[in-house]
Copies of this chain bind each other. A is one copy, B any other.
């Protein structure tokens, strides 16, 4: 009998693992279970789909269930895995539409169960018209709701997704309020950098309430949301989006006896194998990974990691060798004409990890100052005291700002000091950069700060 691989979760990580394993070992029988209507899709594209940048959900789907099946993967849609027995090597699966359950045996299993949006345990949070934006099903639900022409939206949480959704809804003509618990929205940036984003959102016309938290939701007689309580006041809302982040979805794995770690994710080894278990793998938004800068384990639910981790698991399952050596927490986003990027540690992260550090923030332009289209860019870097090791970088600016984070991300990966970074040979020509690239200017200022910090 052929060896069988069961994959739990048919999105980026699961299908990357399934496809890579099947490619390397065509004799392997591969069964994959996906609970939603869609597999292999770009969850990161959902806000842009809702905004109207992308016409429909089709292009967000990298590979259809039929294509996977053509490649020899038995992909079962709308089917939940409700139980895993690691000792017996079986999963129990339930079809959504029929309620039928079945048991499938496996020799190896990949947990790729993704992440679930944090839903606040607040009065009224189960009202209709309150949405997460985690799955294509969520996206379709928001788009269906928009057909009822809601006038006012409240976005709870001002992280990436919250801010992107605020802009998407604003572009549909809604009045939008963002409710953010912290001092500034975009908590993926330090407050001084996030303030630039905050200002841009206000200029656009989005109402941003900081140091505020949702306390509950009001519903009308039909059970549809009509308001959000914030600081005792009720903000009217015909539509609410929850952008409170996500948590690793590990319930089935935990029920099967697998442990979770510091960041509530499954803790794999470098090959994406669950330690102490033969043939048990995990990948994607349900795992935690190593932050190479702090050494701590972190949860970084991003499609790019999910794809890489899935491919690594699949390569190893297929008899090859590959590792996922961790992350440096790079992220990039676009909101209100601003490109926003970070890599490495924020100030709060660096403090938590025990680093002493200096910071440097500079303003420059994306092209030679005299070149048409030169736009403002702000770069901030953190460097360790004494050693000068780069600890993190943040960028906020207009067009052609965001991907400049990659130079810092690669420098960080290689544990370069800011002094070393000042000498880097980055691409220069007037349409692309001032003669001193903004990244180099920030490193120069940080190197000065390192030299003077301990005198």
- Which chain A residues have a beta carbon within 8 Å of chain B's beta carbons? 12, 42, 44-45, 48, 53-54, 59-60, 62, 302-305, 307-308, 323-325, 327-334, 339, 341, 343, 368-372, 400, 402-407, 409-411, 413-414, 416, 422-433, 435-437, 439
Contact = CB atoms under 8 A, between A and B. Distances in A.
Contact of A371 (B54, B370, B371): B54
Contacts of A369: 59
A368 B44 CA distance: 10
A268 to B, nearest CB: 15
B324 A423 contact: yes
Nearest to A419: B322
A368 B413 contact: no
10 contacts: A42-B370, A45-B368, A54-B372, A59-B370, A303-B428, A327-B425, A333-B429, A402-B429, A403-B403, A406-B437
Nearest to A303: B435
B403 A436 contact: no
Nearest to A411: B410
A310 B314 CA distance: 51
Best-buried of A333, A368, A400 by chain B (most CB within 10 Å): A368
A410 B427 contact: no
B432 A403 contact: yes
A427 B405 CA distance: 7
A231 to B, nearest CB: 32
Contact of A414 (B305, B416, B427): B416
Contact of A423 (B53, B325, B424, B432): B325
Given A44-B435, A48-B431, 13 more contacts: A42-B368, A44-B368, A45-B430, A54-B372, A59-B369, A323-B423, A329-B425, A330-B427, A332-B429, A332-B433, A403-B432, A406-B406, A410-B414
